Structure 1
Amino acid sequence: MSKEKSSYPVSKRGPEDHDVRDQILSAATEHFSRYGYEKTTVSDLAKSIGFSKAYIYKFFESKQAIGEMICANCLREIEDEVNTAIKEAEYPAEKLRVLFKAIVEASLRLFSQERKLYEIAASAASEKWDATLAYEKRILKMLQNIIQEGRQIGDFERKTPIDEAVKAIYLVMRPYLHPLLLQHSISYNTDAPVLLSSLVLRSLSP
């Protein structure tokens, strides 16, 4: 992971009691996994945890604030997985292929194995929560770093403005990053990473 300051949301509300905050998040994650995010109220959550609703509000200002922290945790796991995979690749072209593969696999795993938590991701994407906007910026930064490296060693073309190239590649990946689009792309999950990354790499050839 990069050492730059994280842009993921951190709850500033309430006492500096991280153990209690983590306990609420852990219980909320389990509850949302079982019953779904949309159907759960803060009162439901308080009852399942054994805390009062007022006590939960000391740490989180709303259900969305809880959901956003859970969403941020899920996205951080995906990001860590992608970064680890990229570090094992030697050349920019290989890093780009790995990026596509890791992102698609991690996103599809969330969709298929954690369907109730996926509802949180869908809400986050449709309502443009800070966690998803931060995630998008960090993926764009990953792409930019790979393209810059490829241009420096002569593997990628240099005529296209880099911000334009990065945005175009991101749009190719977006159906596997955006939860509301992912459900319509899932039937292509086996071939997508190879086909899409190959197409992009051909467009980047000098």
Structure 2
Amino acid sequence: MELLAKDELIRSSIIDAAKKLFQQYGLAKTTMEDIARAIGKGKSSLYYYFATKEDIFEAVVLQEKKYITREVELAIQNVSTAEEKLRAFALTVYKELKNKRVIIMNILHADNSAGMCMMNMFKKKYDEIELKLIKSIIEFGIETGEFDRKYENQLDAISLLSISTLRGLQLNSVLYTTEKRNTLGLIDLSIDLLVKSLKK
């Protein structure tokens, strides 16, 4: 048990150090040697926990996903209606993606197949949890009578459409920081339209 706890601590320290290096130098320029040096260990010791820096990056993405999920769930719990939960969901995800902008840009600017694979992995990890959350909010609205029950057989399609719209706005803001459009206003408008279409 003590050995497992020690391994977990080392693994966590590797992920934390790698995240800082990825943010500072980018994925392409960060090496296993850099990560090993940051935690004061030899490169060979890293291979006991991770086979490649891409595996470490995936662990970073998973850690970030867990953090964002926790923040979104807390935001949703702090409001009572389905409409308020949808707004809390959309705005919290937007804020957290903005905070993770450096990590996202590192993936998008990777000019190789590995970078594209990680972009797909990043998107899949976030899509899975967001679809689950927004579907649960709409189900909640139907159960409480806030939303029309006729949509309960279309939850998957509505959730996917909603996530696709919000994700487009969120990533546009992350990628184009000089964009003059009011992203928050557009997100709010998207929620207005979704809620209006779902209500009785």
TM range (shorter): 0.7 to 0.9
Per-residue CA deviation, residues 139-164 of structure 1 (Å, 9 max, x unaligned), is 11111111111112222123341111
CA contact under 8 A between 1:157 and 1:204: conserved in structure 2?
Answer: yes
Paired with 1:48 and 1:89, the residues of 2 have a C-alpha distance of 42
> Is 1:172 the counterpart of 2:162 in the alignment?
no
- Do the aligned partners of residues 180 and 76 (structure 1) sit closer, same or farther apart at CA in structure 2, a change above 3 Å counting? farther
Partner SS, residue 191 of structure 1: helix
Give the equivalent residue in structure 2 for 1:45: 35
Partner SS, residue 184 of structure 2: coil
Q: Bigger CA drift: 134-143 or 45-54?
A: 45-54
CA contact under 8 A between 1:67 and 1:120: conserved in structure 2?
Answer: no
Q: Bigger CA drift: 80-89 or 52-61?
A: 52-61
The one of 141, 144, 150 aligned to 1:150: 141
Per-residue CA deviation, residues 117-137 of structure 1 (Å, 9 max, x unaligned), is 3345544775422x6423321
> Structure 2-normalised TM-score?
0.80
- Paired letter, 2:168: P
CA contact under 8 A between 1:42 and 1:53: conserved in structure 2?
Answer: yes
- Paired letter, 2:26: G
Q: Could you list the runs of 5+ residues in structure 1 that have no partner in the other structure?
A: 1-14
Paired with 2:185 and 2:148, the residues of 1 have a C-alpha distance of 26
- Paired letter, 1:118: I
- Do the aligned partners of residues 180 and 39 (structure 1) sit closer, same or farther apart at CA in structure 2, a change above 3 Å counting? farther
Identity of aligned residues (%): 25
Give the equivalent residue in structure 1 for 2:76: 86
The one of 104, 121, 128 aligned to 1:118: 104
Paired with 2:116 and 2:88, the residues of 1 have a C-alpha distance of 26
Number of aligned positions between the proteins: 186
Per-residue CA deviation, residues 64-93 of structure 1 (Å, 9 max, x unaligned), is 110011111122221111110100110111
Shift of 1:23: 1.9
Paired with 1:84 and 1:124, the residues of 2 have a C-alpha distance of 32
> Is 1:183 the counterpart of 2:169 in the alignment?
no
Give the equivalent residue in structure 1 for 2:15: 25
Return the structure number with greater relative CO, CA threshold 8 A, min gap 6.
1
Paired with 1:121 and 1:180, the residues of 2 have a C-alpha distance of 15
Paired with 1:99 and 1:72, the residues of 2 have a C-alpha distance of 19
> Is 1:71 the counterpart of 2:57 in the alignment?
no
Shift of 1:26: 2.0
Paired with 2:17 and 2:118, the residues of 1 have a C-alpha distance of 24
Give the equivalent residue in structure 1 for 2:156: 163
Paired with 1:41 and 1:137, the residues of 2 have a C-alpha distance of 30
> Structure 1-normalised TM-score?
0.78
Q: Could you list the runs of 5+ residues in structure 2 that have no partner in the other structure?
A: 109-114
Give the equivalent residue in structure 1 for 2:191: 197
- Do the aligned partners of residues 180 and 63 (structure 1) sit closer, same or farther apart at CA in structure 2, a change above 3 Å counting? farther
Paired with 1:119 and 1:79, the residues of 2 have a C-alpha distance of 20
